[in-house]
A and B are shown apart, each in its own frame.
Chain A
Amino acid sequence: MSDFLTKLFSTLLTVVVAVLASGGLWIGANLLFNQLRANFVRYRALVWGLLGFVGGVLLSGNRLTIASTSDGGIIARLVAWGWLPVLLALAASAVGTVLATVSSLRIRLAVGAGGLGAIGLVAGLLIVDSAQPAISITSLVASTAVGAGIGAVVYKLSSRTSSSAILIGAALGWMIGAWAIPELGNGTTAWSGIALMVPCALLGTRSALLRIPDQTERNQLDQRSRSIIFLGPALLFIFAALVVPTIRTLYLSLLDRKSESFVGIDNYISIFKDPKALNLSEWQAIFGSRLFWAALICFIAFVILAIRARRQTGHLVEFGSASSGPLIAGIVLLGFAVFTALRGTLINNLWWVLAVTLLSTSFGLAIAVLADGIRLERVAKAIIFMPMAVSLVGASVVWRFMYIARDSSKSQTGVINALWVGLGRLSTGSGLPTLIFGLVVLAILGALLVFAAKSLASGNNGRAVAPLVAVGLLGWFSWRYWGITGDGVGGFRFNGSGQQVAAPIYFVQEPPFNNFWLMVVLIWIQTGFAMVILSAAIKAVPTELLEAARVDGASTSQIFWKVTLPQISTTIGVVVTTLIVLVMKVFDIVKVMTNGTLGTEVLANNMYREAFSNFNTGVGAALAGLIFFSVLPVMFVNIRRMQRED
């Protein structure tokens, strides 16, 4: 228990210290720059003092100066370590103060170049032997010239009035030529002093040449520095945690497994050639699958309805026209036919995107519409929405228990298989329950038929569609249930000796449909997301619009398809793009349920295994790159939308 408390305490302490330190730094920077408008001399003195202090700390902290290497007690060490930063801070602050008050150019140049140069000289002379540079004059001159040249180009391009770019460029070039290029440790003390003096003097000259800014310039300076203070931390984080790693991943994807040699796009080619990633050999199976023929029927229905729709409205497909239903159903069925025949990681990802995006969005839309305005609407929506709060790992565990399939001799402990096997028993039985259940289904069938007929009779064709579809499905169910053809429905089969035994569905184990059962987990979660967003959009449709449609005599379904749906189409687009991005990188569910075995591999899990288990950085990075490239179009869509909104 004490371990527990220690851990809790140290964690809290780390967080508090981190937050206080960075918060203090940020507030301090703001207070400092408040002085810019209020009191320029104080601002200059503080900023220059701070720069001097930081310079001193860098030197002492890296043990680059003579004194900072001494031993002794804590006080002695602190003094030995700290006198240089304090001295540099005071000196630089003094120079800064003069530059902020005196306006005579001669004095400014003398103090700026001379003062800063002297500070640089002193600091350079104090540098320890092991860090003194062995300067080669040629490279020093060359580097300084290059720096000055770049500065000159910048100066020309930016059309500034002061020549400060050249001076800064020269100073930076000198620093690189004197400190970065040569070997450190073989130089002389004198050269070391000069090597630090010159760039300081150059920078001092640059500051001396600038006028003391007036109030307007100070305001501009304030705005500019504020934008850096406010945006800096965020941009730094994004740059370090997102931009640079992304570029580096794309670079690593062009190297071999240990990032040692350049292999071009070989990693990508190897992914596409791997039959585990993309296996098209079974393409003929597409035409043998029942899904394909169902899709074909849908497309035929679409063509018939579309031709009719064209005669009436002039368009083949519209939002909510009768032809759009079979079209969407046909696309989904065809997609499933293709994705169950062609196998591989890439195909799986496409299947995930199609199924989860489409089903989540349509379920979400349906629930949002059904729940709109009913009693206890909030309760119903909260329950549908709740899976959003559960982790994907937790949701996978939840569904694992739903999908349990046990040997036919044992009773089923998973809900779905219990129902499925139970239905099989019922369907093949001959007792009273079998009769009652069958009759109930028939009664519902009859009622739906009546409803559909009534709707058709009153000229309300739209309302008859859903009941008719339900009648079709229930009719087919009853046909099988009563054994008119085939052996009934449900989870059972006959064994060799003609006895019937339970036949549960092995949801997670049987490819290729185990993929779909994993998708159900994500659909279970994301339907709530789609519902919330779409429900808000539906409620935001102007009431006048709905009222006007009603006055014109539109039916409820007409209002939905012709008014509401077009109004929320942008929101549907947002939901779909968000889901595509989310589904492309699905990982947790596959990792927990199957870890990519049994033909359920997806890009993100494959990437994780290659990069962090097989240590094949090249292929891992290439897989990450593939995920990245596949969401790029969505990114562009988002950018376009934002540009339009402004």
Chain B
Amino acid sequence: MTVNSRRGPIDRIYGLLRSIPVGVLWLIVIVWSVPSVSLFLNSWRSRDAQRNSGWWTIKPGDLTLDNYDYIFNASAAGTIGESLINSMAIAVPATIIPIAIAAFAAYGFAWIDFKGRKTLFIATVSLLAIPLQVALIPLLQTYVNGAHLTLPFIDKTVTIIPNLGLVNTSTAIWLTHTGFALPFAIFLLHNYMSSLPKDVFEAARIDGADHFTIFWRLVLPLSLPVLAAFAIFQFLWTWNDFLIANTMAGTNPDARPTTIFVATLAGDFGTNEHLLPAAAFVQSFVPLIVFFAMQRYFVRGLLAGSVKG
């Protein structure tokens, strides 16, 4: 059968239908973006407009900045600007500090020889499936009271961690995030660092370089891509976290991050329903920027360690 012979109507329909999969894909893409688009458009509509008609009836003349104006300046739950700062105060240290600590540890696991290295590594990394709920109660108790241990037999109480007044502060939140981020961070960075060429290290060792110099001058610069991958991952995770923030500082309006701000608005039975789209959009704005600017690194991080707990 030659190419141009017998192009009957049935063949033409058949050919058309062969492109259905691509059509189905784009249909899925549209369906997937409808929720976000409707939220975004609703955020520019007035309270009455939102209540009485769907966002698809929007006209350019109806657009208003009132919702944004209100949540930035006059909201009863505090302003969202304040909670943006709080989110930063949580997400920035909760990103930087685990990176540093995990980079040391990943280097140690990859390139320092000591007994029981492999067992310790597997034990550490296996912790990344631990659900964080299981640590919340004791951690909150520690932030409220400090940690005290009553010694057996001699019946004396030793203070291991004094009460530092951390409860309801952003410090408590990022400290918790740091602990929970470490197994994943170590896993991710170790995978990368241990795949660096071995002869580089041996040459440096023969030249008399110590571990600190090798780490600082050699490994850290080479590991920048994976450090970036983890940084983005962790930043999005901490910025978007609700559970830890709500547990550790949920009652203190001065330490509340954006997620709690939005959840509080959502929880007051519809009185502020019309502010929700604007608030949710502001809350998502920073992660979306980070995400789209650095998607490549984010995907790399996901691929390298898709077992986070």
Contact = CB atoms under 8 A, between A and B. Distances in A.
B25 A374 contact: yes
B25 A574 contact: no
Given A390-B240, A401-B39, A584 B131 contact: yes
B239 interface: yes
A19 B122 contact: no
A252 interface: yes
Contacts of B33: 383, 386
Contact of A11 (B35, B36, B89, B291): B89
A414 B288 CA distance: 24
A139 B246 CA distance: 49
B131 A391 contact: no
Nearest to B254: A7
B242 A392 contact: yes
Q: Place the interface of chain A in its size category.
A: 35 or more
A386 B32 CA distance: 9
A22 B104 CA distance: 13
Interface stretch (A189-197, A241-249, A301-309): A241-249
A391 B241 CA distance: 7
A617 B108 contact: no
Interface stretch (A74-82, A310-318, A445-453): A445-453
B180 A242 contact: yes
Interface string B84-124: 01001100110011001110110111001110011010101
Interface string B237-266: 001111100010000000000010011001
B38 interface: yes
B305 to A, nearest CB: 10
Contact of B34 (A384, A397, A415, A575): A415
A388 interface: yes
Interface of A: 4, 7-8, 11, 14-15, 18-19, 22-23, 26-27, 30-31, 34, 37, 176, 180-181, 222-224, 226-227, 229-231, 233-235, 237-238, 240-246, 248-250, 252, 363, 367, 370-371, 374, 380, 382-394, 396-402, 410-415, 418, 447-448, 450-451, 454, 467, 524, 527, 529, 532-533, 536, 574-575, 577-578, 581-582, 584-585, 587-588, 591-592, 595, 604, 607-608, 611-612, 617, 620-621, 623-625, 627-628, 631, 634-635, 638-639, 642-643, 646
A452 B215 CA distance: 62
Main secondary structure of the interface of A (DSSP, over half): helix
A392 B283 CA distance: 11
22 contacts: A231-B104, A234-B186, A237-B178, A238-B124, A238-B127, A246-B130, A249-B138, A370-B24, A386-B36, A397-B276, A397-B279, A400-B266, A401-B277, A402-B34, A402-B38, A411-B54, A415-B38, A450-B14, A454-B14, A588-B242, A612-B247, A635-B129
Given A382-B295, A394-B262, A529-B302, A237 B35 contact: no
Residue of B16, B142, B292, B299 with most partner-chain A CB within 10 A = B299
Interface string B1-23: 00000000010011011000110
B211 interface: yes
Interface residues of B, number: 117
Contacts of B56: 415, 418
B228 interface: no
Contacts of B34: 402, 415
A527 B109 CA distance: 33
Contacts of A591: 242, 263
A576 to B, nearest CB: 11
A570 to B, nearest CB: 12
A11 B170 contact: yes
Interface of B: 10, 13-14, 16-17, 21-22, 24-26, 28-29, 32-36, 38-39, 42, 50-56, 81-82, 85, 88-89, 92-93, 96-97, 100-102, 104-105, 107-109, 112-114, 117-118, 120, 122, 124-140, 142, 151, 154, 156, 170-171, 175-176, 178-180, 182-183, 186, 210-212, 215, 236, 239-243, 247, 259, 262-263, 266-267, 276-277, 279-280, 283-284, 287-288, 290-292, 295, 299, 302-303, 306-309
Contacts of A367: 25, 28
Contacts, number: 341
Contact of B175 (A241, A385, A587): A241
A171 B284 CA distance: 58
Given A396-B266, A607-B133, A23 B100 contact: yes
Nearest to B283: A394
Nearest to B40: A398
B133 A643 contact: no
A371 B303 contact: no
A248 B142 CA distance: 11
Contact of B134 (A18, A532, A574, A624): A624
B29 A231 contact: no
Contacts of B102: 234
A506 to B, nearest CB: 15
A4 B280 contact: no
B85 A575 contact: no
B85 A8 contact: yes
Given A11-B88, A180-B154, A608-B247, A450 B112 contact: no
Contacts of A638: 125-126, 128-129, 307
B236 A230 contact: no
A230 B186 CA distance: 12
A520 to B, nearest CB: 10
Contact of A394 (B107, B113, B156, B240): B240
A198 B130 CA distance: 46
A4 B81 contact: yes
Contact of A620 (B137, B171, B259, B307): B137
A582 to B, nearest CB: 8
B130 A234 contact: no
A8 B88 CA distance: 9
A574 B195 CA distance: 21
B28 A384 contact: yes
Nearest to B51: A413
Contacts of B38: 398, 401-402, 415
A415 B102 CA distance: 45
B36 A628 contact: no
A560 to B, nearest CB: 12
A23 B38 CA distance: 46
Nearest to A246: B134
Given A389-B284, A393-B262, A413-B52, A249 B135 contact: yes
Residue of A223, A389, A638 with most partner-chain B CB within 10 A = A389
A22 B93 CA distance: 13
A643 B123 CA distance: 11
A36 B211 CA distance: 12
Contacts of B307: 574, 577-578, 581, 638
